[in-house]
Structure 1
Amino acid sequence: MKSVEFFKSKLFLIQIGIAFLVAIVLIWITLISLGWYTHHGEKLEVPDLYGMSLEDAGDKLKSEQLVFSIYDSIFNPDFAPGTVLDQRPLAGAIVKRKRNLFLTINASNPEQVRFPNVVDNSFRQAYELLMTNGFKIGKLEYANNQFFNLVLYPKYNGDTIQAGSMIDKGASIDLVLGKGDNDGMIAPNLIGKTHSQAKEKIILSTMNVGRIEFDASIRNHFDSIQAKVWKQSPSFTNNQKMPPGSKIDIWLTKDSLKLQLADSLLQQRLSNLLY
């Protein structure tokens, strides 16, 4: 009976009320602390660091209350050592204060790697092998041979290169391939692809990248990375067969209306071809 009377007493109700208020205060303090710790609600736009020296980039990030770490280094002879060549997140991304940016900077000297043996491999095998070893695909050339897309020999800076040679990582390698009896290729559909995606698709279609044009919506390096193809020549829909190794010109933009119109026209032309 005494226990029942205690639970009904004013003292017990007061204690319950105090405990409830303490719990609310603790929850409020916790939420405030989490918001402060995670910088909840803060929004900062990542600056464009491309082409800056590492020192200038560090000062810029410090002024924006951001931090960085060096993720990788590559060699580009067009820039001074220590120049920022890439960043993640990209410029324009929205992040919170104290966010860590990963920078790729220009190395003082190119890293050299041993060139793999790609002769007598199929083009697709050679492509994967070269990309895995850190090389880029340059120009595709075709010569008389009974086997289509068989690698006859690779070239670097215009000269034939032998397997085992030490050359700069990231170098562009031209490939001379067998012509076979191929009667021509149709241009791939590049509408809506980024520059890097379009280039890869063109190369894997056994063609070469021709002229590249950016419109007025492209203002800096990172705009060019995010830009997408809105026009190509030859077109995907004209069913024109071209010899392997032919060039495809592309035009890129960040204008969403231009991209929507290009996609709409593409769908219309595809419908006309089907029906």
Structure 2
Amino acid sequence: MSLIKFLKSKTFFKQLGLAIVALVIILFLTMQWLKSTTNHGEFIKVPDLKGKTLQTVEIELNDNDLVMEIQDSANYNPKYPKYSVIEQYPKAGAQVKEDRKIYLTLNPSGYRKVPVPNIVRRTFRQAKPTLETLGFNVGQVTYVDDIGKDEVISIKYKGETIEAGKLLPLTSKIDVVLGNGKRGGSN
């Protein structure tokens, strides 16, 4: 039997019809299975987690069948408690499927630490912007007898003299001891 005769025969059309019916049934069953396993049309509203502690967040996400993924600790934000959520993705109110990962950014325990620059024997006019640019605050300014007028003689943190390179938290108040332009010692 030649190929052309076979393609025109009743047997071929019966087999083709059976194959199409089987394909339609398989597709229908697959679609029904996918609907039931993917919870088609069912969504969970993402709760607002900002400012909440890690323990509270874990309970809330478990109750909503969501998964927590801690992404990073950002720069310290004093408006939020330590180790609380300061950012989340997806945002609160978004519609997601169950077992969706919610990415969290936590507030660290404090400001990151930065090395103190070497500002000894520089003028106060140079030292102040250097400290402020790095994120420090200039605290109390005192004067001692030294020939270098308005020159930084030493720097202090919480009453103790510190050296350049010491790691201090951002926004720390650094007290500055300046020269008053007078020679020290007896006249």
Shorter chain as denominator, the TM-score bin is 0.5 to 0.7
Q: Which has the larger radius of gyration?
A: 2
Identify which of structures 1 and 2 has the higher relative contact order when contacts are C-alpha pairs closer than 8 Å and 6+ apart: 2
The amino acid of 1:65's aligned partner reads: D
User: In the alignment, what sits opposite 2:91?
Assistant: 90
The structure with more helix, counted as a fraction of residues: 1
**TM-score (normalizing by structure 2):** 0.56
Change in CA separation of 1:10 and 1:82 when aligned onto 2, cut-off 3 Å: same
Q: After the TM superposition, which residues 206-245 of structure 1 pair with which residues of structure 2 at under 5 Å, given as runs?
A: none
Q: Report the 3-state secondary structure (helix = DSSP H, G, I; strand = E; otherwise coil) of the residue aligned with 2:48.
A: coil
User: In the alignment, what sits opposite 2:139?
Assistant: 159
Change in CA separation of 1:111 and 1:173 when aligned onto 2, cut-off 3 Å: closer
Deviation at 1:102, TM superposition (A): 1.0
User: In the alignment, what sits opposite 2:102?
Assistant: 101
Distance 2:117 2:92 in 1: 36
User: In the alignment, what sits opposite 1:13?
Assistant: 13
Contact 2:131 2:137 in 1 (8 A): no
Across the aligned residues of Structure 1 and Structure 2, the Cα RMSD in angstroms comes to 3.8
Q: After the TM superposition, which residues 72-87 of structure 1 pair with which residues of structure 2 at under 5 Å, given as runs?
A: 72-74=72-74, 75-76=76-77, 80-87=81-88
Consecutive unaligned residues in structure 1, runs of 5 or more:
118-143, 146-150, 175-275
Q: After the TM superposition, which residues 138-157 of structure 1 pair with which residues of structure 2 at under 5 Å, given as runs?
A: 152-155=129-132, 156-157=136-137
The amino acid of 2:139's aligned partner reads: D
Change in CA separation of 1:22 and 1:116 when aligned onto 2, cut-off 3 Å: farther
Q: Percent identity?
A: 35
Change in CA separation of 1:41 and 1:113 when aligned onto 2, cut-off 3 Å: farther
Contact 1:51 1:85 in 2 (8 A): yes
User: In the alignment, what sits opposite 1:43?
Assistant: 43
Distance 2:117 2:25 in 1: 66
Q: Report the 3-state secondary structure (helix = DSSP H, G, I; strand = E; otherwise coil) of the residue aligned with 1:158.
A: strand
**TM-score (normalizing by structure 1):** 0.41
2:54 paired with 1:54: yes
Change in CA separation of 1:38 and 1:158 when aligned onto 2, cut-off 3 Å: farther
Change in CA separation of 1:152 and 1:110 when aligned onto 2, cut-off 3 Å: closer
